[in-house]
C-alpha cells in the first residue's frame, strides 16, 4: 500500500520543503502503518503473564499508545483490561496494524483470514520459519500478503517501537526512552538487548525495527523510512547479511547524505560458487565486501557495540564540526598523550598553532603548564581553569572542535568541572562539538552522568572520546563529499568485447584463453608490454633485438597450457646468446615432456624490470555484484593479502581512496627514495575495469596478476590475466 504525500497521518518532515530527499523517498511509506497506526490488533493476545501475547498488549497499553488496541484470541474475553475479540472478523473495523503472535504453523492462515477482513499491515512475531529451514512457510506468507496487496514485517521479530505514536509494539523492554536514534536490528534477542543498552547509555530512541527473516519488508525499507523520519537524527543498524546488497548500498548512500548511519555487521553471507577460482575471488571474503560496501555508502561501520553506541551518542547529540582540527583540554599529560595517539588512529587532526595557543591559553594554567595542543592546564586546573579554557576554545573561530579530558585528582571536584564544561557549552549555544572523558574511580560517575544528560557525551577513556570525535569527523567529510559519478569510457568498444565472449560461449568455454583475455583488456584500454611471436630461433633473436633487452620468452603451443610446468618460460634474457640458449632450452624441455606437442613458436615479450607488481581484478559477489580488487602483487597478495575492495562502479575519487587504502601504498608513492609509480595510470586502469565489470554482464571474474605499475607517467602494463565468463545457461 503506497500512499502519497499528504496522507492524513503524516506530518511531512521539514526537509521535504528544501527538496533534499530524493523522489523515491518522498512517498508516504507503507511502513507508516507500522509506526503510526491508528489501531493495532494483537492476534494471539494472552492474559497469561510472561507470554509474548501478554507482553505485547501490556507494552502497547502501558507505553502510552493513544490509538485503539484490539486483542484477538478466542480463549479470552478480556486481556489487560481490554475487550478481547474472537477473530479479526469480529473487529469493529480492520486494524491499521495487525501483530501476529501465534505459532508459525497457523500464522499464515491467520494472516490470510485477517487480509480477507481488511488488514493490510502485519508484524509476524513467530519464529520457526526460514531460520529453522522452513523457507516454504516464508514463501507462502509472502504469497498471501502479495495476493492482498498487504505488507508484513518478519517473521521471527520482536516488533517495532515508534516514539511518534508512543507505540511500543514489542514484547521486549518497557519504559523505552523516546529520543532521536532509530534502531534497526536483524537479530531479535540482540535487538531487545540493544534497546536495553540505549537505556543504560542515555540514548533516546525514535524508532526500533526488528527485521528478522525479512520475508517481505527489508532493512532497505526500514532505512528509507528512518531516513525520511524527522524525529530520527541518527540510525543504528545491526545486520548479519543481506539478500540485495546493491539495493542496500543505494538506500544507505542516499540516507547517509541526510543523517548518520552506524552499522555493526557480523556473521557472513553465503558465497556463490562463482567467486572462488582466482585471487580476486578467494581474497574477497563476503564480510570484507559487506564492510567495503557499507563504507562506500557512507555508513560508519563499528567493530563492536561499545564503539557503535559511543559514536551514536556523539552523532545524535552534537553538531558536526565545521572544519578539520581539534583542541584537547586536559589536566594530565598522560591522558593528553594518549588522546594524541588516538587522534592519529581515528584520523582526527590535532591543531598545531603553538604561538596562538600560547597567547590564548597561557592564562588558564600555571607556568609549568603546556599551552601547545593538548592544552595541559595541569593537575592544578579546577573548574575555573577548565571553564576559561573551554570558553576560549569555543569562542576561537580557528578551533572547530574540543575534546575535554579530566584525570581524577586527590582534591579535584569533578562535578564542578562538569558543570563548567556544561556552562561553557551552553554559553556557546552548542555550536561546536565537545566530547569529554573522565578517568578515575567512583568519584567521577555523577559528573559523567551530568555531562551526558547535558548533551556532552562523556566517556571512560580518552580513546573513546577521540573515537567519538573521529566519527563526527567521518560524518563531516561525508557531508563535504560531492556526488561524483563513475567515469564512462566511450572509447571502450563494448560490442567488440561482447563478441569475443560470445565466441567463447559458443564453444562452451568458461575461462577465456590468453589471446582473448588480452584482446578484451586491450579493448578496455589497458597497456601490455611489447611482444611478438617468433616462428623460429632466428626470428626470436630478431624480435628480441627489436623489442630491446631484457626480454622474456615462452612457448606458443595449443597443447601446453601450464607453460611453467613444462619448463617453457624463460625470463630476463639480456643478450642474443641468452635468447638463443633460452629458445633451445624451451624446445628441448617441451620435447622431452611432450614429444608430439604442436609448437607454433615462441612469444617474446619486453621484460618489465623497474616496476611494482600489483594485482587488479574483480569478482562477482552474489549479493553485491561485481567487486573490484586492487592490491600489491607477488608475495604481497599471497602472504600479506594487502588488497582493497570496492563494489563497482566507483568514481575517480573512490578509486584514489581505494589505492590509498592498501597498507603498502607508500611503496607506490615512492618510499625510501624510490620514484613514484604511475598512480594516475593505476587509477585509470581501475576506473576502466570498474566500467568493464559493470557494463559486461557476462564477465564474472577477472584477475590481472601481475599488473606492473611503472614509473610516474609511464603507465601500467598487464603481464598476465585470467577471465571467467558466465556460461550460457547461467546468464542472470
Which residues would be at the binding site for other proteins (CB under 8 A)?
Answer: 536-538, 561-562, 564-567, 570, 572-573, 578, 580-585, 587-589, 591-593
CB of 728 to other proteins, least distance (A): 23
Integer CA distances (angstroms), 91 to 40, 84, 86, 95, in order? 11, 9, 9, 8
Are 228 and 29 contacting, i.e. CB atoms less than 8 angstroms apart? yes
Report, in Å, the least distance between residue 399 CB and other proteins. 54
Question: Are 76 and 45 a contacting pair, CB within 8 Å?
Answer: yes
Q: For other proteins, give the closer residue by CB, 281 or 433.
A: 281
Length of the chain counted residue by residue: 732
Q: How far is the CB of 593 from other proteins (least distance, A)?
A: 7
Nearer to other proteins, 273 or 410 (CB): 273
> How many Cβ atoms are within 10 Å of 309's Cβ, its own excluded?
24
In whole angstroms, the minimum distance from the beta carbon of 608 to other proteins comes to: 18
- Cα gap 468→287, rounded to integer Å: 24
Beta-strand pair 159-162/167-170: antiparallel
Question: What is the smallest separation between the CB atom of 585 and other proteins, expressed in angstroms?
Answer: 4
**β-pair partners for 167:** 162
Chain centroid offset of residue 670 CA: 30
CA atoms within 13 A on the CB side of 18: 6
We find the least distance from the C-beta atom of residue 699 to other proteins, in angstroms, to be 22
Nearest distance, CB of residue 613 and other proteins, angstroms: 19
Cis ω on the peptide bond leading into residue 520 (within 30° of 0)? Answer: no
d(CA 638, CA 628): 17
Q: Residue 306 or 585: which CB sits closer to other proteins?
A: 585
CB of 564 to other proteins, least distance (A): 6
Smallest distance from other proteins to CB 635, Å: 15
Closer CB to other proteins, residue 428 or residue 585?
A: 585
With contact defined as beta carbons under 8 Å apart, do 96 and 121 qualify? yes
Place of cell 528509507: 224
Decide whether 344 or 565 has the Cβ nearer to other proteins: 565
Q: Which is nearer to other proteins, 375 or 568 (CB)?
A: 568
Q: Which is nearer to other proteins, 132 or 588 (CB)?
A: 588
CB contact at 8 A, 683 and 627: no
Question: Minimal CA–CA distance to 100: which of 131, 65, 56?
Answer: 56
- For 650, the enclosing helix (H) or strand (E) is none
* Minimum distance from residue 689 beta carbon to other proteins (Å): 24
Residue 264 or 543: the one with the smaller Cβ distance to other proteins is 543
Instruction: Tell me the H-state helices in 202-240.
Output: 219-228
Neighbour tally for 38: CB within 10 Å: 15
- Supply 515's cell numbers: 589471446
The burial class, CB within 10 Å (0-12 / 13-18 / 19+), for 597 is middle
Q: Which is nearer to other proteins, 143 or 538 (CB)?
A: 538
DSSP string, 691-731: HHHHH-TTEEEEEEEEEEE-BTTS-EEE--EEEEE--GGG-
Q: How far is the CB of 588 from other proteins (least distance, A)?
A: 4
Q: 22 or 532: whose CB is closer to other proteins?
A: 532
CB-nearer residue toward other proteins: 392 or 599:
599
Closer to other proteins at the Cβ: 426 or 581?
581
Residue 621 Cβ vs other proteins, minimum distance, rounded to whole Å: 22
Rounded-to-integer distance, Cα 632 and Cα 614, Å: 4
Residues 6+ away with beta carbon under 8 Å from 321? 400, 401, 432, 433, 472, 473, 476
Amino acid at each position: 500500500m503506497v500512499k502519497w504525500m499528504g496522507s492524513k497521518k503524516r506530518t511531512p518532515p521539514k526537509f521535504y520543503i528544501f527538496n533534499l530527499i530524493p523522489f523515491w523517498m518522498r512517498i508516504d511509506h507503507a511502513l507508516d502503518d507500522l509506526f503510526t497506526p491508528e489501531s493495532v490488533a494483537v492476534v494471539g493476545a494472552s492474559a497469561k503473564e510472561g507470554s509474548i501475547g501478554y507482553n505485547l498488549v501490556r507494552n502497547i497499553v502501558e507505553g502510552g499508545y493513544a490509538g485503539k488496541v484490539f486483542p484477538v484470541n478466542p480463549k479470552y474475553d478480556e486481556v489487560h483490561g481490554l475487550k478481547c475479540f474472537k477473530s479479526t472478523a469480529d473487529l469493529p473495523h480492520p486494524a491499521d496494524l495487525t501483530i501476529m503472535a501465534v505459532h508459525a504453523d497457523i500464522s499464515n492462515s491467520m494472516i490470510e483470514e485477517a487480509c480477507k477482513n481488511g488488514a493490510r499491515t502485519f508484524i509476524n512475531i513467530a519464529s520457526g520459519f526460514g531460520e529453522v529451514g522452513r523457507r516454504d512457510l516464508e514463501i507462502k506468507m509472502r504469497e498471501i500478503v502479495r495476493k492482498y496487496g498487504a505488507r508484513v514485517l518478519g517473521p521471527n521479530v520482536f516488533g517495532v517501537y515508534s516514539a511518534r505514536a508512543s507505540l511500543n509494539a514489542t514484547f521486549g523492554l518497557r519504559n523505552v526512552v523516546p529520543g532521536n536514534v532509530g534502531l534497526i536490528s536483524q537479530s531479535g534477542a540482540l535487538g531487545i538487548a540493544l534497546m536495553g543498552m540505549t537505556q543504560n547509555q542515555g540514548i533516546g530512541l525514535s524508532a526500533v525495527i526488528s527485521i528478522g527473516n525479512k520475508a517481505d519488508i527489508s532493512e532497505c525499507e526500514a532505512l528509507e523510512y528512518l531516513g525520511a523520519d524527522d524525529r530520527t537524527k541518527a540510525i543504528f543498524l545491526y545486520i548479519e547479511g543481506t539478500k540485495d546488497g546493491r539495493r542496500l548500498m543505494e538506500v544507505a548512500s542516499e540516507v547517509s547524505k541526510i543523517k548518520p548511519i552506524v552499522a555493526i555487521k557480523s556473521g557472513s553471507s553465503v558465497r556463490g560458487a562463482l567467486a572462488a577460482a582466482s585471487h580476486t575471488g578467494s581474497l574477497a571474503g563476503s564480510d570484507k565486501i559487506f564492510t567495503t560496501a557499507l563504507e562506500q555508502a557512507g555508513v560508519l561501520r563499528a567493530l563492536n557495540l561499545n564503539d557503535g553506541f559511543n559514536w551514536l551518542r556523539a552523532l545524535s547529540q552534537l553538531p558536526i564540526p565545521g572544519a578539520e582540527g581539534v583542541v584537547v583540554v586536559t589536566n594530565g599529560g598522560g591522558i593528553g598523550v594518549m588522546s594524541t595517539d588516538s587522534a592519529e588512529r581515528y584520523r582526527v587532526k590535532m591543531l598545531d598553532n603553538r604561538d596562538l595557543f600560547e597567547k590564548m591559553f597561557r592564562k588558564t594554567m600555571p607556568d609549568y603548564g603546556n599551552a601547545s595542543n593538548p592544552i595541559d592546564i595541569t593537575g592544578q586546573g579546577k573548574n575555573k581553569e577548565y571553564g576559561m579554557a573551554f570558553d576560549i576554545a569555543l569562542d576561537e573561530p580557528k578551533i572547530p572542535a574540543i575534546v575535554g579530558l579530566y584525570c581524577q585528582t586527590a582534591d579535584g571536584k569533578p562535578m564542578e568541572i562538569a558543570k563548567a564544561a556544561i556552562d561553557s557549552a551552553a554559553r556557546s549555544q552548542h555550536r561546536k562539538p565537545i566530547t569529554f572523558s573522565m578517568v578515575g574511580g567512583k568519584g567521577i560517575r555523577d559528573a559523567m552522568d551530568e555531562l551526558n544528560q547535558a548533551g556532552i557525551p562523556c566517556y571512560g577513556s580518552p580513546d573513546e572520546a577521540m573515537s567519538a570525535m573521529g566519527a563526527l569527523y567521518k560524518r563531516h567529510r561525508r557531508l563535504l563529499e560531492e556526488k561524483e559519478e563513475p567515469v564512462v569510457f566511450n572509447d571502450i568498444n563494448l560490442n567488440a568485447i561482447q563478441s569475443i565472449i560470445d565466441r567463447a560461449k559458443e564453444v562452451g568455454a568458461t575461462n577465456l584463453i590468453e589471446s582473448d583475455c588480452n584482446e578484451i583488456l586491450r579493448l578496455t584500454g589497458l597497456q601490455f608490454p611489447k611482444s611478438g611471436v617468433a616462428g623460429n630461433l632466428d626470428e626470436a633473436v630478431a624480435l628480441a633485438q627489436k623489442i630491446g633487452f631484457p626480454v622474456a620468452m615462452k612457448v606458443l603451443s595449443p597443447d601446453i597450457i601450464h607453460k611453467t610446468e613444462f619448463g617453457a618460460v624463460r625470463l630476463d634474457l639480456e643478450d642474443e646468446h641468452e635468447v638463443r640458449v633460452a629458445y633451445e632450452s624451451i624446445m628441448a624441455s617441451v620435447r622431452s615432456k611432450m614429444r608430439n606437442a604442436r609448437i607454433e613458436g615462441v612469444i617474446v615479450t619486453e621484460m618489465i624490470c623497474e616496476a611494482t607488481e600489483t594485482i587488479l581484478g574483480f569478482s562477482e559477489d552474489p549479493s553485491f555484484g561485481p567487486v573490484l580488487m586492487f592490491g600489491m602483487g607477488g608475495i604481497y597478495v599471497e602472504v600479506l593479502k594487502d588488497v582493497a575492495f570496492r563494489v563497482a562502479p566507483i568514481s575517480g575519487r573512490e578509486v584514489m581512496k581505494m589505492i590509498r587504502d592498501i597498507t603498502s601504498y607508500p611503496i607506490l608513492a615512492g618510499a625510501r627514495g624510490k620514484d613514484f609509480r604511475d598512480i594516475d595510470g593505476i587509477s585509470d586502469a581501475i576506473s576502466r575495469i570498474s566500467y568493464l565489470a559493470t557494463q559486461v554482464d557476462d564477465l564474472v571474474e577477472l584477475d590481472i596478476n601481475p599488473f606492473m605499475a611503472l614509473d610516474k607517467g609511464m603507465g601500467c602494463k598487464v603481464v598476465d590475466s585470467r577471465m571467467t565468463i558466465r556460461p550460457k545457461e547461467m546468464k542472470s
